[in-house]
Chains A and B, each alone.
Chain A
Amino acid sequence: MARIADISEKILNHLIIWSGILLLAALFVQVVNRYFLAISWPFIQMLIPLCFVWLSMLGSAVAVRKKLHFDIDLISGRLKPKARRYYAMAIALSVLLGGIITVWGGVGLIKLGFVKKDPSTGASMIYAYASVFMGGMLICLFACEQFWNRWTQPPTSEGNPKT
């Protein structure tokens, strides 16, 4: 499980970095095109939201693994190590549920993507809409890993599993 998650994260990191670079570069090119060359490239107009949604969905999956998502911790500090472990497992399950919901909704969006086309380029919207489904799948993967870690590893003195 950890190996699969490690490999996935490495690949995702590359994809996220390139999505970010492409996004900023495309925005810059769009400004230059509009104000200095007085032209507009339709594929850039499609590329920008495409990069942004993929960056957001893939990044939010990696953020599950890196525990970057916003939350407040009012409870775990007050729990004993064993209870804290079960609490962390419950939180991981809630994230898994969030991932499953995203995948579930994403399937419907993929179906819609097959019939919808981008108005400026005529390209299928599946390329953009698939990001929600993929993001959901990856959120599930990393949530499962977190649950598995807490399930298999004994709690440390602080009650958190070794990572």
Chain B
Amino acid sequence: MSLEVSLLILMGGFAILFALGVPLAVALLIPSVAVILADPALSMVVVAMRIYSGIDSFVLLAIPGFMFSAFVMNRIGMTEDIVAISDLLVGRIRGGLGHVNVVSSMLMGGVSGSSTADVAGEGAIIIPVMIEKGYDKGFTAAITAASSTIGNIIPPSILMVIYGATANVSVGALFIAGYIPGVLVGLQQLGITYYYAVKNNIGGLPRAWAEGEKKRTLIRGLAPLSVMVVIIGGIVFGVVTSTEAAALASVWVVVLDLFVYRKLSWKIIREVMLETSLLTAVVMFCVGTATLFGWLMAYYQVIDVTEKVIGYFTYDSHVFLIVVCVLFLILGTFMDPAPAMMIFVPVLVPLAQKLGIHPLHLGIIVVMTMDIGKITPPYGISLLMACSIAKIPLMESMKWTMVFFVAFVALTLAIVFWPDLALFLPRLLVPQFMGG
């Protein structure tokens, strides 16, 4: 079969089926099989072989570990501790609850690795309080959705694990590269919140801390901080891999519950494990079918074609990265990040390297744009969840969502033009993974 026909069946078939509402994994599988059946050189065993090899990845084993620890943290009340310590840190500033929302997400991002877990856990706590204190519902939903995305940039990050596995780069180095961009996104959102507070004359939280309460809050804050130390400390100092860090974190949160929180029961562990496993399975089945799809793209030398097409338009690394931003922004709005990365990252990494772009730089750009997709209407999952918790239609949050969206895009473009914002820390801390 010719390259053009197979490409048309693969890409066209996938786009049509997915737009028709067929589940993503199946929409990837059906056109792949159509191409395999039409090509006498390929056999059906390739289907199962590729699905299996896509799932059987040591790096991706980190996903259930990070998800489990995030869900356990939500259940045992560690999220409340994170909110409390954020309140202690920034609650007094004008627009205090908005700042608490952002800082909680930054701290939560440092331990959970999932923006969805952040909206579900922290959003459920802070959104009702913000609305009760007179914050605009649209702003509340928008800031919660926007700040939750920090969880995917500040390590640990499930998206970075998937990128690392796909692009064959060190997940630890990616984690380190995420720190400065993550903190910048947080600072930007704190700035927007301050502007909102000034504009709407909202003050800080005039909270009178009881004797010893600050100390107690700080001490309880050590528990979530310890999870961060286990994960990041272990990876940065090269003691454990990201997968092992995820396993350690999931055991560590259970140990913390045994000695500090004492809320876990066997029933809760079973519920959390089922939730974790089902979400992991959905992602992994997509990863499996996307691996097959991506393998076929490589088999038909789509990388060469893409290189020619992109080369026709540009040999400029900045223009290339902007094209990547637009591509992943669209994909991030409509698709789950895992299959989107499994399909496109193997195509883009060799092209990026030919243009002199470091894979870590590309990784941060991809993760950030996929993250923006999560707050892009009408299908951004974090935005939909935040609106659902705030009990408002999507349109009501649109104004402030667009403010956060534009700011996020501007920051991503800044990282496109100044790679050092992402690469400075990895060069400093893990030069062995930077090459050259």
Interface residues of chain A, those whose CB is within 8 Å of chain B, are 13, 16-17, 19-21, 23-24, 27-28, 30-31, 35, 48-49, 52-53, 55-60, 62-64, 66, 68-76, 87, 91, 94-95, 97-98, 101-102, 104-106, 108-109, 111-112, 128-129, 131-133, 135
Give Cα distance in the complex from A48 to B55, angstroms.
12
Give Cα distance in the complex from A55 to B56, angstroms.
11
Query: In the complex the two chains form, is B335's CB within 8 Å of A70's CB?
Result: yes
The 9 closest A-B pairs by CB, nearest first: A59-B281, A108-B45, A105-B47, A105-B48, A27-B247, A60-B285, A98-B26, A56-B284, A69-B23
Say yes or no: A57-B47 contact (C-beta < 8 A), given A16-B274, A95-B26. Answer: no
Query: In the complex the two chains form, is B22's CB within 8 Å of A20's CB?
Result: no
Contact bitstring B266-294, A, C-beta under 8 A = 1, else 0: 00011001101111111011101000000
Query: In the complex the two chains form, is A109's CB within 8 Å of B45's CB?
Result: yes
Total contacts A-B at CB 8 Å: 186
Query: In the complex the two chains form, is A17's CB within 8 Å of B22's CB?
Result: no
Query: In the complex the two chains form, is A68's CB within 8 Å of B21's CB?
Result: no
Query: In the complex the two chains form, is A20's CB within 8 Å of B64's CB?
Result: yes
Interface residues of chain B, those whose CB is within 8 Å of chain A, are 17-26, 29-30, 33, 43-49, 51-52, 55-56, 58, 61, 64-65, 68, 239-240, 243-244, 246-248, 250-251, 269-270, 273-274, 276-282, 284-286, 288, 334-336, 339, 379
Query: In the complex the two chains form, is A52's CB within 8 Å of B56's CB?
Result: yes
CB-contact partner of A53 in B47, B56, B379, under 8 A: B56
Query: In the complex the two chains form, is B336's CB within 8 Å of A94's CB?
Result: no
- Residues of A within 8 Å of B44, CB to CB, are 104-105, 108
Q: Return A64 CB to nearest CB of chain B, in Å.
A: 8
Give Cα distance in the complex from A19 to B282, angstroms.
15
Give Cα distance in the complex from A64 to B64, angstroms.
19
CB-contact partner of A91 in B21, B25, B43, B244, under 8 A: B21
Query: In the complex the two chains form, is A55's CB within 8 Å of B64's CB?
Result: yes
Closest to A75 in B: B21
Give Cα distance in the complex from A153 to B30, angstroms.
28
- Residues of A within 8 Å of B248, CB to CB, are 28, 31
Say yes or no: A27-B18 contact (C-beta < 8 A), given A17-B270, A48-B61, A69-B282. Answer: no
Say yes or no: A97-B26 contact (C-beta < 8 A), given A16-B278, A71-B21. Answer: yes
Say yes or no: A53-B282 contact (C-beta < 8 A), given A24-B247, A72-B21, A98-B26. Answer: no
Interface of A is mostly: helix
- Residues of A within 8 Å of B379, CB to CB, are 72
Query: In the complex the two chains form, is A24's CB within 8 Å of B68's CB?
Result: yes
Query: Can you report 7 residue pairs joining A to B where beta carbons are below 8 Å apart?
Result: A49-B56, A52-B61, A56-B281, A57-B281, A94-B17, A94-B26, A109-B48
- Residues of A within 8 Å of B280, CB to CB, are 20, 55-56, 59
Closest to A99 in B: B26
Q: Return B101 CB to nearest CB of chain A, in Å.
A: 27
Q: Return A110 CB to nearest CB of chain B, in Å.
A: 9
Given contact pairs A55-B280, A72-B18, a sample of 5 additional A-B residue pairs in the complex whose CB atoms are under 8 Å apart: A30-B244, A35-B240, A66-B278, A72-B334, A91-B23
CB-contact partner of B19 in A53, A62, A69, A74, under 8 A: A74
Q: Return B145 CB to nearest CB of chain A, in Å.
A: 18
Query: In the complex the two chains form, is B64's CB within 8 Å of A35's CB?
Result: no
Q: Return A93 CB to nearest CB of chain B, in Å.
A: 10
- Residues of B within 8 Å of A91, CB to CB, are 21-23
Say yes or no: A63-B65 contact (C-beta < 8 A), given A101-B47, A105-B48. Answer: no
Query: In the complex the two chains form, is A132's CB within 8 Å of B273's CB?
Result: no
Query: In the complex the two chains form, is A59's CB within 8 Å of B277's CB?
Result: yes
CB-contact partner of B49 in A72, A98, A109, under 8 A: A109
- Residues of B within 8 Å of A57, CB to CB, are 55, 281, 285
**B23, B274, B277: which has the most chain A beta carbons within 10 Å?**
B277
CB-contact partner of B244 in A27, A73, A104, A128, under 8 A: A27
Say yes or no: A23-B21 contact (C-beta < 8 A), given A59-B282, A66-B278, A97-B30. Answer: no
Query: In the complex the two chains form, is A101's CB within 8 Å of B277's CB?
Result: no
CB-contact partner of A63 in B30, B243, B281, under 8 A: B281
Give Cα distance in the complex from A109 to B43, angstroms.
11
CB-contact partner of B20 in A16, A75, A104, under 8 A: A75
Q: Return A69 CB to nearest CB of chain B, in Å.
A: 4
- Residues of A within 8 Å of B282, CB to CB, are 59-60, 63, 68-70
- Residues of A within 8 Å of B20, CB to CB, are 75
**B18, B24, B47, B49: which has the most chain A beta carbons within 10 Å?**
B47
Give Cα distance in the complex from A95 to B28, angstroms.
11
Query: In the complex the two chains form, is A35's CB within 8 Å of B48's CB?
Result: no
Query: In the complex the two chains form, is B26's CB within 8 Å of A74's CB?
Result: no
Say yes or no: A102-B270 contact (C-beta < 8 A), given A30-B244, A74-B21. Answer: no
CB-contact partner of A106 in B26, B48, B278, B279, under 8 A: B48
Give Cα distance in the complex from A23 to B15, angstroms.
35
